[in-house]
Amino acid sequence: MSQPLRVAILGAGMIGEVHRRAVLLAGAELVGVMASSQARSKEVADAWGVPQAYDDVEQAAASDADVVHICTPNASHVPFAIALMKAGKHVICEKPLGISLADAEEAAAVAAETGLVNTIPFAYRFHPMAREMRARVQDAEFGAVNLVHGSYLQDWMLNPRSTSWRVDAKAGGPSRAFGDIGSHWCDLAEWVTGDRIASLVATTSISIPQRPAATAASFSAVESDAPLIDVTTEDSACILFRTAGGVAGSAVISQLSAGRKNRLWLEVDGAHRSAVFDQEYGEQLWIGADAGATVHFRDPNHGSADQRRLSLLPAGHAQGYAQCFENFVNDSYAAVRAHAHGEAGPEGLPTFADGARAAAICDAMLTSASDGRWVDVKE
Amino acid sequence: MSQPLRVAILGAGMIGEVHRRAVLLAGAELVGVMASSQARSKEVADAWGVPQAYDDVEQAAASDADVVHICTPNASHVPFAIALMKAGKHVICEKPLGISLADAEEAAAVAAETGLVNTIPFAYRFHPMAREMRARVQDAEFGAVNLVHGSYLQDWMLNPRSTSWRVDAKAGGPSRAFGDIGSHWCDLAEWVTGDRIASLVATTSISIPQRPAATAASFSAVESDAPLIDVTTEDSACILFRTAGGVAGSAVISQLSAGRKNRLWLEVDGAHRSAVFDQEYGEQLWIGADAGATVHFRDPNHGSADQRRLSLLPAGHAQGYAQCFENFVNDSYAAVRAHAHGEAGPEGLPTFADGARAAAICDAMLTSASDGRWVDVKE
Amino acid sequence: MSQPLRVAILGAGMIGEVHRRAVLLAGAELVGVMASSQARSKEVADAWGVPQAYDDVEQAAASDADVVHICTPNASHVPFAIALMKAGKHVICEKPLGISLADAEEAAAVAAETGLVNTIPFAYRFHPMAREMRARVQDAEFGAVNLVHGSYLQDWMLNPRSTSWRVDAKAGGPSRAFGDIGSHWCDLAEWVTGDRIASLVATTSISIPQRPAATAASFSAVESDAPLIDVTTEDSACILFRTAGGVAGSAVISQLSAGRKNRLWLEVDGAHRSAVFDQEYGEQLWIGADAGATVHFRDPNHGSADQRRLSLLPAGHAQGYAQCFENFVNDSYAAVRAHAHGEAGPEGLPTFADGARAAAICDAMLTSASDGRWVDVKE
Amino acid sequence: MSQPLRVAILGAGMIGEVHRRAVLLAGAELVGVMASSQARSKEVADAWGVPQAYDDVEQAAASDADVVHICTPNASHVPFAIALMKAGKHVICEKPLGISLADAEEAAAVAAETGLVNTIPFAYRFHPMAREMRARVQDAEFGAVNLVHGSYLQDWMLNPRSTSWRVDAKAGGPSRAFGDIGSHWCDLAEWVTGDRIASLVATTSISIPQRPAATAASFSAVESDAPLIDVTTEDSACILFRTAGGVAGSAVISQLSAGRKNRLWLEVDGAHRSAVFDQEYGEQLWIGADAGATVHFRDPNHGSADQRRLSLLPAGHAQGYAQCFENFVNDSYAAVRAHAHGEAGPEGLPTFADGARAAAICDAMLTSASDGRWVDVKE
């Protein structure tokens, strides 16, 4: 085995832990960590058995790490990413890529200039069966795409006492449900079809007008008893769109659909076949045809090359979300190793350009919801 | 048993047969029939063992029938219905209620004036579990509705050699997929929620620009070898909407989604529960809650009163589409019998007012698709 | 149309109504009825608009009916059927074919002698997708059968206050769950595979030792408050078996599996494919292969000839149980009409020989459960 | 954090890798490895970055490891485990616990004497929803268990060119399908119900009489072109059983059910509820009741304590098989740490006693299949 990559993680909350886990499994060497304070950085470094505890991003930028994972609060994503890339670090940055389109575009521009590896975890691309869907949708046998539709539904914000920093536009940016999960849906839809959303019309809803001020972590279902503040970001958003290729589409995004935990559902209807990927049943792919529907299972022994490559377990032994994330980090690291040899990394990695793309779609969505008209997505 | 109702059927094609079946099962007396020609009327009357064979609608209007079923081509629906109501007949008229909004409004106005029973087969209302959904969605425990979404997908027009009279706007009216099946979705959504679509924005697609001229019956999958004509009605339509109550919604309507045979899917997300009815699995209703999802089965022994009333078979012995239609005809006849006593008929019957409503929504959809803006639905 | 068949129905309870419905839909002429008493026969004849009200089976045997449906209590099935066949009537007899193997064998023998049409409603054979399963399982592409397994689960006897005449072996014969629903499973398994259960080992359970004495109709979930009696027939039965062809199999039969309404599930595993029919989702058939599973929908436009023949509605418009029963009666009548011309009727009809077969399997099951050993099924 | 546990792994094949992954994630220190030869041990130690490469089990027994994972070929499991326990090592031993009942009993006896931690990966116990099932089945609300049934179906031996060392009884022990996967089913059934299989009757089948001699790894679908040998172990097995508590049950075990990848399905029917766990859809648990069925999702915020404890990801983000295995190793290590303080470890760990139990059931199964009679399972 070649020398392991040297890796640092900025941010030691729940999501930092998820990254650490993937770092370990990827066989990389975790050399440094930065947490919410100097004292906390030292504590975490000790707990994780990591040599370097950074006081600030500058120390991380000056370290001997090859790759830095950014898992800090959203507002810091872009400044940290830029500082690190300017110091020559490859960067894996958590979603979203900043809290404005301008931010995201700047990060993407710096990434393009430096030529360093830059990825963001649109992790659902790493479900083997999402790869299978992409291979099949882009295959001639599928036929031209006629329609793209689906939804991404959760219920963790259904309780009026649930909250997150994103309920307040000033704190977390002007979009919540769409920015948080709609972005995943759009990324997957564009990536699977190889087509882009060119224009859209949207409507958004705030069903719960006040919520507790944010103090708890995302995904926590703990009811907050903090004082109420006005909610200024959407609980749900619906969009219609047209792609550059002229295809119509529709998506429903909601964080208050009772009983829906993480239902990212994408259907693509083509001239000969249809395809459905449902993230909650991510071990399978539904392919519809006139004479019946076929359910393909994730399987290292069957299907498209990339699906097989990312299938780490025998069929019937579910991989799950954590292994999507591992696949994402493995491929990011493979890109870093390829970069060292001037080679291209694995196909299909979500980059800062994709992060900027998500921001552009979100911007158009907000403009349309506000103005009540079709809006072009900035290219 | 009281004297059976005297019933006539106009139109003896596939759909006329469906009505005849329901007439028989309802215990009514089939007294007359009109088919596509005088000769054919006599043939059918003979084959069905029916005494009267009508040459034209006037003969039917002058007959001793209590109720007339109109199963003739669409353009005749409204003139026939009006002629019959003016002659004092109760009318069960096939969908659509004419081929223009003006037609439908006129029929609804005459119906209102005469006070006769007037129904149209939005048959999915008669799935017992659609009733169950309605009862639950309108129950306080469900909470205020936050979002209404879904789709109605078929694939019978996926084959470029498939056709129907509705591919040509001049022959079948300006909308195809939406008028044919989108109307069912909207009717069910409004009826289940008790709320109305106030405004909408739409986009439509014609994916197959030419098809054979219509000669074959609807639902037939026989490939036509007729000469090609330009398709001028939509293969698919997507809408976003706002209800009178301020709720956002979305629907995807398509006749070319491979592998989808008749997938009417309606989800309503409320403040405490969500509900899903999927017509292809019409024996069950999905109710989502934060702590899990419950699947309720059609069951004469459990659930809401109207579901139990329409559950004609023990749980687990699927009723299917034909028994929806029987329920519709039974309730229409019950309304006729109630009318004779100056009483109200069963709740939930789809009437000409509902048919006019469907035409108004379709009109708004077409206007929006053409103009690219939000359009109010005429009340 | 040829002269309609002349039909009589003996028994005017819930199941008699089911038959009447199918008679009407088949276009036959209902000429006579016999109910539980002379007075009741007259009432029913009046209510149904039927000319003849029989006092006893002799009158029915002497009538001008072509076909007689026997829907009376079980103990009368065989004597009535024999009396009617000896009078030259074709007979459609409700399940079970008597309450002992000897009874059933006698009925089958008389049927064979007279050569008249004799059928019993193993109605699940008339699910189009059960036909599809049979066609596929017996096709060379499926490969030799390796394993046959499944279950038939209901919950209507889960409530200790539920009862039926069959809880008491003296009243309804020595087997309940197996005789009632296990017989359907075995019939379907043998019919689909074309192989026969040669020997079996069984275990039965009575989970609720006392229940109210029977007064209510089967399928009723009304809680009885009748005095308790000892239950002497099984609530559930499990069998292992070997077929004449040497294939192993297993079935679990239960009337107290909570949440299971009528879950007849049959899986056949072959050398190249597997197949599953689940009655509660009877519009589809699951075919497993190494590379994925295909779900075939009932569809008049696709699949095997017999499936298409029995598909009376377009795909996606569920047929349900009632149309199984209609298919059964239609095919029985087609056999009667064919008999008049000395021709063979439709393939696949369940006859008295199949009823006797069911009795033989039930007998072996009871013997094995009692003796604790493998028992051969009488041929 | 306390000092990490020191861990060694014997066996560096596919399953050894699975263990290594869990070791890393558990935060333990991997100190040594033994592979198939001295040279290979050194290679693996180098590749994994592990300090100690063992020549034989004695070196491992003499090392400073706290815990040793045994992932070597089956015949070595018991001798290695005994040697290691006698040297004071805690042992995590792959399934099966030896290749005979005597072996397994000896290992369990030594484990009991030494009092060291001893576990075997009946990993499905660590699906959070299997825990949820156990909690619910053993809850009073469920009611007394009436029936236990299900199946464990795979298709990886359907291809006549597929093989494993287990096709030959001399090489891999006298049972294949049952020993390999039936053991999991029985363990789960007993563990979930808290009841034990007291007696059983079985039938086994060898559908493919000859296969290539084993050379390839298990789970590999590579077609072997090795010379054919006689297959002397079962492709499938069916059992009926009675538990110590008097409950009847049934299981179908097969490795040649086309389209079934790893379908462990367990249904328990109780006096008030039924419960189904289907491993391929392991994120959910089906609970049946008379009035409907509820689908519970794995969810750190809802459900029983142990399910929540083992739910490492938010609901809707599937955990999968790998995280079952991690949970198993984590709990095994927790038991080791508890042992150091004289405390009890986590509840629910599968131990050598459970491995011996599996061997006893397998023995009874083989005896019954051979003798054709009910056989008591040795306690």
pLDDT tens, residue by residue, C320-346: 999 999 999 999 999 999 999 999 999
Least CB–CB distance from B269: residue in A247, A256, A292: A256
D261 CB within 8 Å of a chain A CB: yes
Highest mean pLDDT among A159-173, B5-19, D242-256: D242-256
pLDDT for the residue B172: 82
**C-alpha distance from C21 to closest chain A C-alpha (Å):** 32
The per-residue pLDDT for D214 is 84
pLDDT category at D297 given cuts 50, 70, 90 is very high
Question: What pLDDT score does A99 carry?
Answer: 87
What does the pLDDT average to over B169-193? 95
pLDDT at residue B140 above 70? yes
In this complex, which of B207, B250, B286 lies closest to A146 when CB atoms are compared? Answer: B207
Q: Do C315 and B283 touch (CB under 8 A)?
A: no
Amino acid, res. C371: D
Lowest mean pLDDT among A15-19, A304-308, B108-112, B182-186: A15-19
Mutate to test the interface with D, among A44, A264, A321, A324 (most CBs of D within 10 A): A321
Q: Could you give the CA distance from residue C267 to residue C263 in angstroms, rounded to a whole number?
A: 13
Give 3-state DSSP helix, strand, coil % of chain B, rounded to 5: 40, 25, 35
CB of B288 within 8 Å of a chain A CB? The answer is: yes
Q: Among B149, B353, B106, B377, which residue's Cα sits nearest to residue B267?
A: B149
Question: For residue D142, is pLDDT > 50?
Answer: yes
Q: Has residue B379 got a pLDDT over 80?
A: yes
Which chains pack against D, by 3+ Cβ pairs within 8 A?
Answer: A, B, C
Q: Which residue of B has its CA nearest to A148?
A: B252
Give the per-residue pLDDT at B9.
Answer: 98
pLDDT, mean of residues C356-377: 98
**pLDDT tier at C2 (50, 70, 90 boundaries)?**
low
Q: Which residue has the higher pLDDT, A190 or B47?
A: A190
CA A180 to CA A192: how far, in whole Å?
19
**Residue D307 contacts residue D138 (beta carbons within 8 Å):** no
CA distance D366 to D360: 10
Report how far residue D7's alpha carbon sits from residue D20's, in angstroms, rounded to the nearest whole number: 10
- The share of chain C scoring above pLDDT 90, in percent, equals 91
CA distance B283 to chain C (A): 9
A21 token code pair:
């886990």
Residue D145 pLDDT > 70: yes
Count of positions (residues) in chain C:
379
* Residue D171 reports pLDDT greater than 90: no
Residue type, C363: D
Q: Which residues 135-154 on chain B approach chain C with CB closer than 8 angstroms?
A: 154
Q: Residue holding tokens 């056709």?
A: B163
pLDDT of D265 > 50? The answer is yes
Show the tokens assigned to D221. Answer: 């679908």
Write out pLDDT tens, residues D2-36.
Answer: 689 999 999 998 889 989 999 999 989 999 999 99
Residues of chain A short of pLDDT 50, as ranges, are: 1, 216, 218-219
- Flag if A316 and D260 touch (Cβ within 8 Å): yes
Q: What is the mean pLDDT of residues C287-304?
A: 96
Distance CA B276, CA B197 (A): 19
Give the nearest partner residue to B146 out of A236, A272, A286, using CB atoms: A236
Helix, strand, coil percentages (3-state) for chain D, rounded to 5, are 40, 25, 35
D323 and A320 in contact by Cβ < 8 A? yes
How do residues B118-129 score in pLDDT, each as one tens digit? 999 999 999 999
CA end-to-end distance (rounded Å), chain A = 42
Average pLDDT of the residues in C280-298: 97
- pLDDT for res B224: 81
Cβ <8 Å between A313 and D322: yes
Give residue B218's pLDDT: 46
CB D92 within 8 A of CB D80: no
Q: What is the pLDDT of residue C222?
A: 62
Question: In the block, which residue shows the tokens 């198939």?
Answer: D36
Q: Which helix (H) or strand (E) holds A52?
A: strand A52-53
What number is the average pLDDT over the span C274-284?
98
Helix (H) or strand (E) holding D364: helix D352-371
CB–CB of D211/D162 below 8 Å?
A: yes
Q: What are the angstrom distances between the C-alpha of A268 and each of A249, A357, D57?
A: 9, 21, 56
pLDDT at site B14? 85
Closest-CA residue to D317 (of A318, B256, C191, A141): A318
Considering only the C-alpha atoms of chain C, give the largest distance between any 2 of them, rounded to a whole number of Å.
Answer: 64
Q: What is the pTM of this model?
A: 0.96
Chain B residues with CB inside 8 Å of A252's CB?
147, 149, 250
Which residue has better confidence, D166 or C288? C288
Chain C CB within 8 Å of residue B281 CB: yes
- Is a pLDDT exceeding 50 seen at residue B1? no
- Give the per-residue pLDDT at C214: 84
pLDDT of the residue at D2? 64
D292 touches B: beta carbon within 8 Å: yes
Average pLDDT over residues C220-237: 86
A49, A99, A54: which is closest to A79 by C-alpha? Answer: A99
- CA dist A35 and A16 (Å) reads 9
What pLDDT, in 10s, does the model give residues B63-103? 999 999 999 999 999 999 999 999 999 999 999 999 899 99
Q: What is the mean pLDDT of chain D?
A: 95
Contact residues, chain D, for C288 at CB < 8 Å: 155, 257-260
Q: Terminal CA-to-CA distance of chain B, rounded, Å?
A: 42
Contact between chains at A294 and C292 (C-beta distance less than 8 A): yes
